Each structure stands twice: as C-alpha cells, then as structure tokens.
Amino acid sequence: MKSCIKWFEEISLADLSLVGGKSASLGELTRELTACGVRVPNGFAITVDAYDAILDTGAVRESLEDLFDGTDRADSGNLTQLAQAARAIIKDAGLPQFLREQICSAYRQLSSLYGDAATDVAIRSSATAEDLPDASFAGQQESFLNIQGESAVLEACLNCFASLFTERAISYRRDKGFEQMSVKLSVAVQKMVRSDSASSGVIFTLDTESGFRDSILITSSYGLGENVVCGRVDPDEFLVFKPTLRSGHKPILRRKVGAKQQRLVYSTHGSRTTSNINVPDEEKSKLSLSDDEVIVLSKWALSIEDHYSKLHGKKVAMDIEWAKDGRDGQLYIVQARPETVFSSHFSNTLCTYSLKEKGELLLEGRAIGEKIGAGPVRLIRSKNELSEFQSGEVLVADMTDPDWEPVMKRAAAIITNRGGRTCHAAIVSRELGVPCVVGTHTATEVLQPHSEVTVCCSEGAQGKVYSGLLPFDRKDVSVEDIPKTITKVMINLGEPDQAFSLAQLPVDGVGLAREEFIIANELKIHPLALTRFDSLTDKVAKQQIAQMTKHYPDKCQYFVNKLTEGVSTIAAAFYPRPVIVRLSDFKTNEYASLIGGQQFEPKEDNPMIGFRGASRYYSESYRDGFALECRALKIVRDDMGLTNLKIMIPFCRTIEEGKSVLSEMSANGLNRGENGLEVYVMCEIPSNVILADAFAELFDGFSIGSNDLTQLVLGTDRDSELVAQVFDERNLAVKRMIEMAIKEVKRAGRKIGICGQAPSDYPEFAQFLVERGIDSISLNPDVVLKTIPIIAKAEETLPSLLRKNEMDAVMSAQ
C-alpha cells in the first residue's frame, strides 16, 4: 500500500498539492532554515492521499458531492446543518486500516526520536488551498494540542480531516470562489513545544495596522499559543526595526505590557487536553519575553522573510507562530505563512478618515485598522445569537470565534472585551476592512443593546467608542497626483502611535518631533521625581511613581526607556529621512503638572518667557533631568542605529546659552558631528535672528518657531485671551523678521526651515515662505496634502526669485 507519510525533512513548498500549505511550510522551514539557526520541532505530514483514501471508502465522496450540489450559495442560516452533515459523513467512515497502521508507525518513530514512549504532539489541519498569496485559509480547519498515545492521535487525525467542512471553512471557500470539493486536506503531526510553562505568540514581519514593512511585530503571552490567536488574552507586544537590526543593532522600538489574563496549559481534568488558568497579578505586569529573546525571534523572522521572498521573487511579509519550551528554555518556530491582508491591499491611494465632531467617550481599546464605523449595538454572547445579527450593526462580544466570520463581514464595526493586535477578531476585521476595537475589557457591560455608537480607529493606537452616530469624513488621494516640490515638505509629529501611518505621506521627514508629547502621554512623571525619588515629599505622588516603576530597579531607567521607545518609533517610521527631535520644551507650569512635579518647579507669573528651553538644560537645578533625555537620544542613535535623528534646542536666548547646552550634551555623550550628529536651534527669539551669523557657527541648522517669534516680536502673551486679537503671524513686523532670518541664515551657509503653526493655518503664509527661499516647511499632518499644491504653485516663479536672491547676496557682499 502506498505510503501516506512524509517527514518534514522530505517535503518543501513544492509539495503543497501533496501535503497542503501548513505541512509544506513546516517542511520548507525544516529543510532550509534550520541551517540558519531557526529551531523547528520535528514531525511528519499525512498526505492528501490519505484524505482521498477516506473519500474512496464506501460512498463518502458521492455523499459529499450530493450534499453540496446546489448549496454553495446557501446563506449562513443553513451553514450549521450543512457543516454538521459533511463532518458526520467523514467521521462515520473512519480511517482505513492501512492508514491507521502508517500513522501509528510514524508516531512511534517520532516518540523514539525524542526519547519518549508516547510523546506529546500537536495535530494540525493543512489544506491544499492554504497560505496562497490572495487567500490564507489559515484557521479555517481544526488543530488539536497535547495529544498523546496512538488512539488519541488517530482520533485527532480523523477530526482534522472532518474539519475541512467547518462552517467557517465552507463559508470562506465560497467567498473566495473555491468549489467545496476542490480543496483537499493533509494533517501535520508535530512535536509539542512545552510553552504551557513558558510563553508563545505570533510574529508579523510588518506593522499590522499601517502595513509599514520595515517593522517586526511580536506578540507574546504565557502558555500555549491558542489564547493569543483566539483573542482570549491581551498579549505583550514588541516592535522591532528591520533595517538597523540587519546592521547588528538591537532596535526594539516599543514594548507594551499586555494583561495576559489567562495561561493555556496541559489539562489534568478528564478528557480535556488543555485548560485555562488565571495568571497571578505579579506575572501579568511583567513582560513575557526578554529583550534578548525578542532579538532572536526578530532575526529568525528576517531569515524566514528573506527566504520566502527569494522563493516568490518579490518581498513577502510573513505571519509566523513561535513558542518557548519551559523545560529546555529554547525558542521554536512552529509555523510560518505569507501574510495576506496587507499584501493583497497595496494601493497608491491614501485613504484617511476623520471625525467631524466628537461625542461622549464610552470606551477605549486597541484600534485595528484606521477606519470609522457607526451603527446600533448588537451584543453577541454566544454562537446561538448570531442568527439575530443584522447588516450594519456593531458587533459587540467578549471575543470572536472563527465560526463567526460569516456575520463579521456584515458588521459596521466590531468591539471585543479581550484580544490583541494578532487575535482572531483583529485579523478578520483587517481582511474584511471593518473597523475594530479589541481589548476594551468592559464593552459587553458598558454598551447597551440597540444603542447607537461610533467606532473610531483613526485617532492613533487607541480605538475609541463614542455615543451616537457621529458624522465623519473619508478622503481618498492618489499619491501619483501630488506634485513634487523643490522646497522640502516635512511634518510636525508628537504621537509615536501615528508615526507609521503618517510616514506614508509624501513628505521629506519630520521637521518637529515634540518630546513633550511623549513625556506627557507616555511617561507622565517629572524627570526630577525619578532622579530624586528618595527626597520626594508628596506621598501620593511617591506611591504612584513607585507603582509605575516597580519593575525598574533604577527608576531613572523608566524615563529613559519610555522616551527611547517614543522617539525611536518616530525615527524608524521615517528612516532614512531626517527626523528633527526638539528637546523638552515644557514651561514651568506644564512641568509642575507632571506626577511629582510640584516640588521641583518655581511659580512664575509668565512661564512663556521664563525658565524654559535651553536655560533649563545646563542649570544645576535641572541638569540631572536633562541627562535622562540625553541618555535616551544617545541610545536611539548609537545603540539602535537611527542616525537620521537630529536634535534641536528650543528657546536658546544667547550665544553663551548655546555653548552651555552643547557642552552639557557633550558631557552626556552627544557630541555634535560625532556619528553624523547634527544639532539645530529653534529660531523663535529676536536674538536668534539678529545674531543669526553667530548662532550659525554653533549649530547646523535653524527652524523658525512662528508662535513664539510672533509673541516676542509683537509683545503678546500667546496664552492670554485679552490680547489674542493682536497675535497674528501674518503681521508685517513678523514677516519681516522671518524674511531677515531666512536671508541671514542662508548667507551663513546653513539650512533654515519652519515648524511653527502659521503655514499649517494660512496657505498664503506658505506661499510667502517659498518666495523668500526657505529650505523646508514642516506642516501639521492634516494639512499636508492640501498645502503641497500651494507650495508647488508658488515655486513656478522660483527661477527668477533665485536669481534675485543671488544678486541681493552679491550686492550685500560689495
């Protein structure tokens, strides 16, 4: 009798028609990538010949064909009965005797390889239409974990073959245009990795929200990996930058601690092979992977992506499953397949969503996608309630299940209590293009059935659920229709969560990355409250800081890590385009509002022109706080390799201050010119303009801050409503000051741009800047696409303007 067993080392992707996508991929990994250090648990595939043998038993094939004849277009109402009947036909037929013998023989051999009498294995379905470029089919069939003993293996294999006809598999094939009998099934039998006593998760070699291709996303949680895939837990997340990982750096951009509510372990109860146990609070608050383990997995992911890309003749993003064995402490790759959602949705069109107005905020969670959807709430607590779901409703559930896919496609939006960026609800909603918010924790309690809500995923990493049906805009812009400009167009950015999406805009980099946004939103703690923690007098703040930093023996490292992650994410998103990060520019009242800040900040009548910017950095009262900023930026540039990062000094009043700040930076390892470091200065004080030639000897470039420059030229407090009517960047005095700054800086041979608010608010101001020969204009993201054509039009007269500027320079020199 023909053998239906193929060991992983005997197969490759070329055998997809024989062993299906999952088994073929395991063979490819075993044969080609173990030499690169990638560890893959051994195992064997049961070929599709076995599936044919089952169908050839009695009248199984004919019975299935009769069952599906004329029913491929059946609606979801009769899917359940159809699927149950199909599976019953296969289970009633059973496995032919010769096949039972072959499977048992291979299982005994695998057990012997691992020194076991009956080793534990994972048994996974592997369909011949699986992991195709335009359809993944992943998760459509069943998998069985922690299977031991010959009889249990045989039963699981039969259930796998029958699972070719689950409701979700039938529905998915129908939607993708596959005939039900055209797909065959193989079964992969693989040594289990004992991640029940360690951790496991999923790797994507792109950012799953924006499609950013230079990142690796790793999710991780305690126990077996099914919890992460199914969305039962909110996993830890790690984001790694590919280009500098390749050059030997360790660029972990973000670390996010997930709730990790449960751990899936081997069960000792009755017939169940696995069960969930609650994770202790102390373990929940810790990361489930070390930095070194994250880097190892990332390097393996790169090797796998490179190999698959070579096979396909083009760049292929990967969806990879990994597990850590708690017994030997080793990491393993247990599956890999091409990612299909973003790979099949590439477009030269930028599609943006924005709310026209906001309502009462009901919930927050993890945003999946960047769309907005609205409709009445439909609360689904069990599969039995799916038949009640109506098109256009917002599906609200504790978590979703693969069997729900037929109704998920009809939802206006999806909201779940649990799950992370790689859970079932997230993956399916991305593929369907449905806005989704996962990990809200309380959606099923807070949202009332039939109440109307708006689900917004367009405001960064946090997805938001608002009360009512709020109006919103959708804009589609073809990148090919956006004109090219001579003037560098950059953006202002302070939210790292938006960096990957905004990096898709046709801009030349980031002209202003605001540290204070990262400090206020991510760190929340005053830096001196960390450097001088023992002397804190505010007991409430001290207790709060102790809780926030409890996993940091050195509390200062909390500040350094968080700032490093925020800045590096922005720098990586735009790499190798320049990113100019402005050192913290809080005023004393703003610093005081940070946790623990009251003790360290003086009270000033006018903080706008007080102890801010450069004057803080070299001051004895703040220099150890500034040192934390320098440590973070040095890590971003030197350890992570993001040398596209430039540093900008705000509110530098005098030449002496400039020298003092550069000296302080040097004392903290940031030397201008070393490793290509460029240091810019904000041009926002009249002294910066008047002494532009002297400042140019200290700094590599200037960036006009039109808000502060207007304040100081016109003598108006821009925080005061009483003189708000006077504050206008278009005032002739301000424009002449800006014109003088551009002229003097360019005469000194330095670059000058603008990062202030004016060109974002007033299109005619952007035109004025172009006509005066500014090198770059940094805009708020929401006005980039409408301002670029204005800049391009203004540049139509540039040749004559440039000649005039050259003549002016000659006349001045004479």
Catalytic residues: 424, 755
Outline where 191-316 has alpha helix (H). Answer: 226-230, 242-246, 281-284, 291-312
Three-state SS at 344:
coil
Contacts of 330 (CB under 8 A, 6+ apart): 39, 324
What are the tokens at 784? Answer: 């980039």
- For 60, 521, 535, 545, 597, the CA distances from 600, given in Å and listed in that order, are 79, 20, 11, 15, 6
DSSP annotation of 782 reads G
Strands 701-704 and 751-754: parallel
Q: What is the largest CA-CA distance in the chain?
A: 103
Cα separation, 374 vs 435, whole angstroms: 9
Positive or negative torsion for Cα 304, 308, 314, 315 = negative
In angstroms, the CA 7 to CA 21 distance is 15
Q: What is the DSSP string of 165-212?
A: G-HHHHHHHHHHT--TTT--EEEEEEEPP-GGGSEEEEEESS-TTT--
**Residue linked to tokens 């804009």:** 475
**476 burial level (CB within 10 Å; 0-12, 13-18, 19+):** exposed
8-state DSSP, 497: G
CA dihedral of 392, 395, 400, 401, whole degrees rounded to 10: -40
Taking CA atoms, 161 is separated from 79, 95, 126, 186, in Å, by: 18, 10, 9, 7
Residue 811 to residues 802, 807, 808, Cα–Cα distance (Å): 14, 6, 5
Which string of b and e fits 662-694 if b means at least 16 CB within 10 Å?
bebbeebebeeeeeebbbbbbbbbebbbebbee
Cα–Cα separations (whole angstroms), residue 401 to 38, 387, 418, 447, 730: 31, 15, 12, 20, 57
